[in-house]
Structure 1
């Protein structure tokens, strides 16, 4: 293992796992392990899924689904922006043709 790796022990469903972790990323790994542990406990506590392997697969599916839902859909977002832009353009009055500024002339016979 290189100098830039550490080995951390994380606990998931009452089992300890030793995991290689890049130096400086320990906090993120612990957060990931805690999130996975919470999701697996939630699934186990429903009583509908048995076996750590099945619980792990269901947790992975649930977490992946949540991740994908949180990502912006670039194609969908672009289409939404284009529709909104078209609606805004159609709702705004069209800009009048630029007209020359009227010239003001003072005449001697009109008072101010």
Structure 2
């Protein structure tokens, strides 16, 4: 695993600096976009006012979604999705190298 570096991200107009290994940067950026989207959905719904309350509601909604991705018997759907994405990235990288041969 590589040494973590600092990334600047923006969520709902607020800047945050987050430590992240280079190989996880894309996943972090996707997580930031997901959190941003969830927070905007709650804000645009108009029932929750205040950034702190919006963040807490978004966290609860995301936690609820995560808990329902686990199927009885210990199967972790989210883990399988991460593994499939990693395999797809590996395949894409291998194919890119092959295309350079032609």
Within 5 Å, give how 1:63-74 maps onto structure 2. 63-74=62-73
Within 5 Å, give how 1:65-84 maps onto structure 2. 65-74=64-73
Q: What's the CA shift for 1:6?
A: 0.8
Q: Which has the higher helix share?
A: 2
Unaligned 5+ segments in structure 1 are 76-112
**Pairwise CA RMSD:** 1.4
User: Quick one: distance in 2 between partners of 1:21 and 1:50?
Assistant: 31
Match of 1:97 in 2: none
Q: What's the CA shift for 1:22?
A: 1.5
Unaligned 5+ segments in structure 2 are 75-102
Q: Which is greater in Rg?
A: 1
Q: What's the CA shift for 1:41?
A: 0.4
Q: What's the CA shift for 1:71?
A: 1.1
Length, aligned pairs only? 73
**4+ residue stretches of structure 1 with deviation over 2 A?**
none
User: Quick one: distance in 2 between partners of 1:57 and 1:67?
Assistant: 15
